[in-house]
Amino acid sequence: MKKQTEFNEPYQNVIDLQEEKLRKQVQYVYNHSPFYREKFEQLSLTPGDITCIEDLEKLSFTYKDEIRESQRVQGPLGRHAAVSLEDVIRVHSSSGTTGRPTYVGITRHDYDVWTEILARVLYTHGIRKDSRIVFAMGLSFFVGSSMKDGIERLGATFIPIGTGASDRVIQSIQDFNADVLFCTPSYASYLAEYVRQNYDFEPSDLGLEIISVGGEPGGGLPEVRNKIQQDWGAKVVEAMGNADMAPVLFSECQEREGMHFVASDYVICEIIDPETGKVVPQSDHMEGELVYTAIDRECSPLLRFRTRDLVQVDTRPCKCGRKSFRLKCVGRTDDMLIIRGVNVFPSAIKDVINSFRPRTNGEMSIILEEKPPLVHPPLSIKVEHEPDLKENELTVLKKEIEGVLRSKLTFTSDVQLVPKGSLPRFEMKAKLIQQVDQLK
């Protein structure tokens, strides 16, 4: 009989290893984390009740809000932490979208695990010892400083530039003949536009071969990805992780048909139905919310942590030869809008808007007058249009976009076409939703 969570790993000996590490981890958190001991006691469980992956379902979930609360009660690392600050060699903070920032500490051992996973992520991308990598993401971000460790362990060359320095990014790509760029998908598009406006060459003339995008889900959208690939003449690959678990855990190979899970000896994944909390039955194609359980963590091992990432899982072997499961992130449960009972993701709306290129440049903003997720139709969306469209062409475009949104995503919208460049740009992350009270 196939185990429900067997998709984590096709090899039985690795499943055995996962379960051995799981038993150790559960005993460890029970002994060292007041937060988890309390959870076990509330459920009348002891570590001995968790012996295999299926037993995870006996445990309750860990929510981000609980972590925040745990650190409010007992700072700085929280009641869930299993070591004292003395054993911590680095602390990262994750800002999140709401509430106070949370801190994530790592011990020397956690550092080694993270660095190992990062090196695997890079290798899966196709990055090798002779690669020269310009890093144009936030360096204070935990992904930034950890990526440095992974790149150095692999032996490739790390060239950190950070954000808000587009000329220096371009200069360093030229100076080092760099072949890899790390940035957010919206920054890759922004930078291409920037090159065209300020230099007398095309972005593709810079000779990048791989652009690794992360930090937001846009890289998974075919329209966004194709646009970046056309602009730069490079392969776009994606990686994904979670601030509270590890900087990255999933990585796209050169086939780019989903991100491979590269950390099965450190983390166990479950796919659950976000509404019922039930584990989704094993199949070639599963869809649901990703849930992580650490099995080799010292500072803050989380059990059944709800990521809010909605993913599509493919368990079939990949053309690249790797057998680990792959996934695509299709949205966040906390970004989700509910319009007349229908779940709508801003990223899906963005995909529709992108399909109207070149009449629009794909820039859009959803304007909400009420607090999400419940929204009353029509949904108000501002979309940038190209300057050479005439009045009657604009009327046609508005009707067409509204028609496709209605037929594809089954909600009614009120699309307002605005001139190119009039919506706010964000170098770090594309912000798809704006609330009216936040607007000037």
Q: Who's near 128: CB < 8 A, 6+ residues apart?
A: 154, 156
- Under rule CB under 5 A, how many of the chain's residues touch Zn ion? 5
Cα–Cα distance for residue pair 131/119, rounded to 1 Å? 13
Whether omega before 47 lies within 30 degrees of 0, making that bond cis, reads: no
Out of 320, 389, 404, 433, the residue judged to bind Zn ion by CB under 5 A: 320
User: With binding defined as CB under 5 A, does residue 253 bind Zn ion?
Assistant: yes
Out of 55, 152, 255, 287, the residue judged to bind Zn ion by CB under 5 A: 255
Shortest separation between residue 390's beta carbon and Zn ion, angstroms: 47
Shortest separation between residue 237's beta carbon and Zn ion, angstroms: 11
Q: Is 187 helix (H, G, I), strand (E, B) or coil?
A: helix
DSSP-assigned letter for residue 60: P
Shortest separation between residue 314's beta carbon and Zn ion, angstroms: 10
Give the nearer residue to Zn ion in terms of CB position, either 323 or 399.
323
Cα–Cα distance for residue pair 310/329, rounded to 1 Å? 6
Segment interacting with Zn ion (CB under 5 A) among 26-34, 275-283, 299-307, 314-322: 314-322
Shortest separation between residue 259's beta carbon and Zn ion, angstroms: 9
Give the nearer residue to Zn ion in terms of CB position, either 125 or 297.
125
Cα–Cα distance for residue pair 247/117, rounded to 1 Å? 9
Segment interacting with Zn ion (CB under 5 A) among 29-37, 57-65, 319-327, 430-438: 319-327
Q: Who's near 135: CB < 8 A, 6+ residues apart?
A: 144, 147, 148, 158, 159, 160, 161, 162, 182
User: Are 227 and 356 a contacting pair, CB within 8 Å?
Assistant: no
Residue corresponding to tokens 């745990």: 70
Segment interacting with Zn ion (CB under 5 A) among 39-47, 50-58, 207-215, 317-325: 317-325
User: With binding defined as CB under 5 A, does residue 418 bind Zn ion?
Assistant: no
Burial of 41 (0-12, 13-18, 19+ CB in 10 A): exposed
Q: Who's near 26: CB < 8 A, 6+ residues apart?
A: 47, 50, 303
Give the nearer residue to Zn ion in terms of CB position, either 237 or 405.
237
Out of 318, 327, 417, 432, the residue judged to bind Zn ion by CB under 5 A: 318
Segment interacting with Zn ion (CB under 5 A) among 45-53, 61-69, 168-176, 247-255: 247-255
Segment interacting with Zn ion (CB under 5 A) among 104-112, 238-246, 251-259, 341-349: 251-259
Give the nearer residue to Zn ion in terms of CB position, either 29 or 253.
253
Shortest separation between residue 46's beta carbon and Zn ion, angstroms: 40
Cα–Cα distance for residue pair 330/216, rounded to 1 Å? 11
Give the nearer residue to Zn ion in terms of CB position, either 104 or 213.
213
Out of 32, 90, 132, 322, the residue judged to bind Zn ion by CB under 5 A: 322
User: Are 78 and 50 a contacting pair, CB within 8 Å?
Assistant: no
